[in-house]
């Protein structure tokens, strides 16, 4: 019997546990030129804000040991253009659609979520309360338990389908933030967003990013992400976890699921090998077969701890 | 949207051209025959010492469309690793990427201007134009470098039959000075002929070429480079500011831009 890759999150079924991470696949059009998006469990869009944002001046990215830094600055078309020009394309794609929502004020999150509630194609929204690259909002929301609870609760009021809270690793206790998000009504967690970092060119003595600092992603952050997924899973929070951080192959996915993730998102790896999700799905199936499991869900939280 | 092939390929030929310059030929490459001048490949090095792919302009594709050549100079970590690869080594490439040069009318005099390692796309464009029947005596190939060792593939360019104008800063080969000197001379000597310019090279050269275009009212295009994580339009890392405001993605909106469009 072929092993089953289907997973359920917040009452929604996904063809497999593999999603794209926000900011790593635009609005899906480009990635569809590499492989059919139906191969994904879900596509997570770039962060959408109320008004269009141009983003930061270049350079916006820098290579680091086993990873990268980015400070794109939430460049996006804004909710109006997203609904008018991007949603029609997404509606033709046979995969689940999750829209990432960002803002600098609570009211902006509410307005964007209200608009998205009218777009039937949007299965879930993911709240970016953890972006390290904007001056206000973003990470500030996600670093404070009260603001986290308040933002999730406010968005839950206007969006009738499940809401995911994307959590920042740049906090003292991610468990405390997760509990606050659950209190606010979060239906799932995405763990983690990027870690704050920077890099300096010693000849020019300037930071390699015009934003002076950015978010570290890629294989370098995987151990940190795994430990945070593990901590939230073991804390007894009820919402399922979507694991993110440096996933590049099926082995990484298995690790995240063993630590408690019900699904995963692929970010930086898409820049390096855009067909990564397809390869992971194939290899994950082979792994399940080899280890005699019927369903990928049998891996969730099954790490044998010492 | 265009289809991109993410594929493993083999190095089938490696040539050391001079000093730090190398030519690599890859085969088999599906969609190589779809590559047009101006486009590039994004190459994944088989090493964890680098995270990102590296972008290289296409220098040529074989007639059967099975082989693709790049020419590069060793400048950093990625190109050092690439120069260390040998015939038979496997690499992964994304191809074809980027937009393309506008094809000129056959009655237009074409000024191709390559500076340093910017010459490969100019060579690809020259051979494609000749294959499309553009008269060889209407193609001027300007190639500037610091000294003789920077002017590569001289025999190959001469064999094309185009009008070859090598220029070196130290005068060790061809004319002494900057590449824009003979460009301006050819422009001012031309009488009532329609012209079009194409340039790829260092930023100061691109700026000087654009300035000549403005001065003499000649249309043209430049091919630019930028550090590029993804190469297919999703990461928004390789942007350049537009004169009209906002940013452009070099990987998908470029790398070829009409004169005056991007802020260099």
The shortest C-alpha distance from B13 to chain A (Å) reads 24
Instruction: Decide if B234 and A68 are in contact by the 8 Å CB cutoff.
Output: no
Chain A residues touching B2 at Cβ < 8 A: 33
- Tell me the H-state helices in B132-232: 154-160, 180-189, 203-216
Nearest to A273 among B92, B229, B233 (CB): B92
Instruction: Tell me what percent of the residues of chain A surpass a pLDDT of 70.
Output: 97
Average pLDDT, chain A: 95
- Residues in a beta bridge with B16: B22
What is the per-residue pLDDT across B116-155, written as a single tens digit (0 to 9) for each? 999 999 999 999 999 999 999 999 999 999 999 999 999 9
Q: How far is CA B105 from CA A2, A140, A222, B102, B129, in A?
A: 58, 57, 54, 10, 10
pLDDT band at A188 (very low <50, low <70, confident <90, very high): very high
With an 8 Å Cβ cutoff, the interface of chain B facing chain A consists of 1-4, 6, 44, 48, 50-53, 92, 94, 226-227, 229-241, 246-247, 252
* Structure confidence by residue, pLDDT tens digits, A16-74: 999 999 999 999 999 999 999 999 999 999 999 999 999 999 999 999 999 999 999 99
CATH 3.40.50.80 fits B109-223, yes or no: yes
One DSSP character per residue, A142-190 reads HHSHHHHHHHHHHHHHH--S-EEEEEPSSSS-HHHHHHHHHHHT-SEEE
Which run of H or E residues covers position B143? strand B139-145
Going from N- to C-terminal start, the domains of chain B cover: 5-97, 109-223
The closest alpha carbon to A123, from A277, A278, A26, A15, belongs to: A15
How far apart (Å, rounded) are the C-alpha atoms in residues B250 and B254? 4
Nearest CA in chain A to B3: A33
ipTM: 0.91
From A55's Cα to the closest Cα of chain B, the distance in A is: 9
Homologous superfamily of the A7-299 domain (CATH): Aldolase class I (3.20.20.70)
Q: What is the pLDDT along chain B (264 residues), one digit of tens a residue?
A: 458 889 999 999 999 999 999 999 999 998 888 899 999 999 999 998 999 999 999 999 998 889 999 999 999 999 999 999 999 999 999 999 999 999 999 999 999 999 999 999 999 999 999 999 999 999 999 999 999 999 999 999 999 999 999 999 999 999 999 999 999 999 999 888 999 999 999 999 999 999 999 999 999 999 999 999 999 999 999 999 999 999 999 999 999 999 999 999
CB B167 within 8 A of CB B146: no
Distance from CA of A5 to the nearest CA of B (A): 24
- Predicted confidence at residue B32, as pLDDT, reads 84
Question: What sign for the dihedral angle of Cα B155, B161, B167, B171?
Answer: positive
Percent of chain A's residues with pLDDT above 90? 93
In this complex, which of B4, B227, B237 lies closest to A33 when CB atoms are compared? B4
Query: What's the CA dihedral at B29, B31, B32, B33 to 10 degrees?
Result: 140
Asked if A201 reaches chain B (Cβ–Cβ under 8 Å), the answer is no
pLDDT for A134-163, tens place per residue? 655 566 678 899 999 999 999 999 999 999
Question: Is A280's Cβ below 8 Å from some Cβ in B?
Answer: no
Name the percent of chain B in helix, strand, coil, to the closest 5.
25, 35, 40
Q: Closest partner residue to A75 among B236, B238, B241, by Cβ?
A: B236
The listed CATH number (3.30.1360.120, 3.40.50.1860, 2.40.30.10, 1.20.120.1200) that belongs to domain B5-97: 2.40.30.10
Cβ distance B52 to A60 less than 8 Å, yes or no, reads: no
Taking a contact as any Cβ pair under 8 Å apart, which residues of chain A between 61 and 80 contact chain B? Answer: 61, 63-64, 66-68, 70, 72, 75
Q: Is residue A131 among the annotated active site residues?
A: yes
Cβ–Cβ below 8 Å for A64 and B50: no
Q: Active site residue: A24, A131, A237, A259, which one?
A: A131
Asked if B2's CB is within 8 angstroms of A33's CB, the reply is yes
pLDDT at A304 exceeding the cut of 50: yes
């Amino acid at each position: 019997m072929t092993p089953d890759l289907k997973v359920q999150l917040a009452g929604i079924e996904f063809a497999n546990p593999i999603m794209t991470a926000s900011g790593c696949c635009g609005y899906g059009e480009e990635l569809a030129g590499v492989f059919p998006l139906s191969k994904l469990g879900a596509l997570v869009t770039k962060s959408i804000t109320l008004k269009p944002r141009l983003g930061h001046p270049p350079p916006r990215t820098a290579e680091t040991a086993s990873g990268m830094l980015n400070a794109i600055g939430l460049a996006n078309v804004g909710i109006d253009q997203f609904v008018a020009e991007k949603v029609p394309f997404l509606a033709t794609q046979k995969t689940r659609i999750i829209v990432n929502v960002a803002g600098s004020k609570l009211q902006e999150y509410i307005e964007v979520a209200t608009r998205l509630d009218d777009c039937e194609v949007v299965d879930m929204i993911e709240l970016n309360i953890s972006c390290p690259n904007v001056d206000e909002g973003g990470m500030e929301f996600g670093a404070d338990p009260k603001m986290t609870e308040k933002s999730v609760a406010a968005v839950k009021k206007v969006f009738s389908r499940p809401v995911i809270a994307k959590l920042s690793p740049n906090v003292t206790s991610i468990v405390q933030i997760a509990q606050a998000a659950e209190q606010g009504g979060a239906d799932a967690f995405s763990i983690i967003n990027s870690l704050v970092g920077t890099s300096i060119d010693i000849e020019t003595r300037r930071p390699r990013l015009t934003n002076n600092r950015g978010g570290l992603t890629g294989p370098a952050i995987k151990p940190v992400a795994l430990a945070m997924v593990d901590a939230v899973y073991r804390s007894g929070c009820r919402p399922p976890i979507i694991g993110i951080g440096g996933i590049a192959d099926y082995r990484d996915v298995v690790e995240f699921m063993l630590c408690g993730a019900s699904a995963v998102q692929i970010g930086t790896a898409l820049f390096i090998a855009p067909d990564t999700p397809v390869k992971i799905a194939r290899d994950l199936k082979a792994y399940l077969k080899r280890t005699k499991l019927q369903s990928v869900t049998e891996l969730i939280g099954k790490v044998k701890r010492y | 949207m265009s289809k991109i092939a993410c594929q493993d390929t083999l190095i089938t030929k490696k040539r050391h051209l001079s000093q730090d310059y190398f030519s690599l030929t890859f085969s088999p490459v599906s969609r190589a025959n779809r590559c047009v001048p101006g486009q590039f490949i994004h190459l994944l090095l088989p090493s964890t010492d680098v995270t990102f792919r590296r972008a290289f302009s296409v220098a040529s594709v074989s007639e059967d469309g099975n082989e693709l050549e790049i020419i590069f100079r060793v400048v950093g970590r990625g190109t050092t690793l690439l120069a260390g690869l040998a015939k038979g080594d496997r690499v992964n490439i994304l191809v074809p990427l980027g937009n393309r040069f506008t094809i000129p009318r056959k009655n237009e005099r074409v000024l191709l201007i390559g500076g340093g390692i910017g010459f490969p796309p100019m060579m690809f464009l020259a051979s494609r134009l000749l294959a499309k029947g553009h008269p060889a005596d209407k193609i001027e190939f300007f190639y500037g470098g610091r000294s003789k060792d920077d002017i590569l593939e001289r025999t190959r360019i001469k064999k094309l039959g185009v009008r070859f104008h090598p220029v070196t800063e130290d005068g060790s080969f061809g004319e002494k000075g900057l590449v824009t000197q003979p460009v301006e001379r050819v422009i001012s000597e031309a009488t009532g002929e329609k012209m079009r310019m194409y340039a790829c090279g260092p930023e100061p050269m691109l700026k000087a070429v654009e300035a000549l275009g403005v001065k003499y009212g000649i249309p043209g295009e430049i091919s630019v480079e930028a550090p590029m994580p993804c190469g297919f339009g999703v990461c928004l890392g390789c942007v350049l500011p537009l004169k009209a405001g906002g940013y452009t993605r070099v990987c998908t909106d470029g790398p070829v831009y009409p004169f005056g469009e991007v802020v260099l």
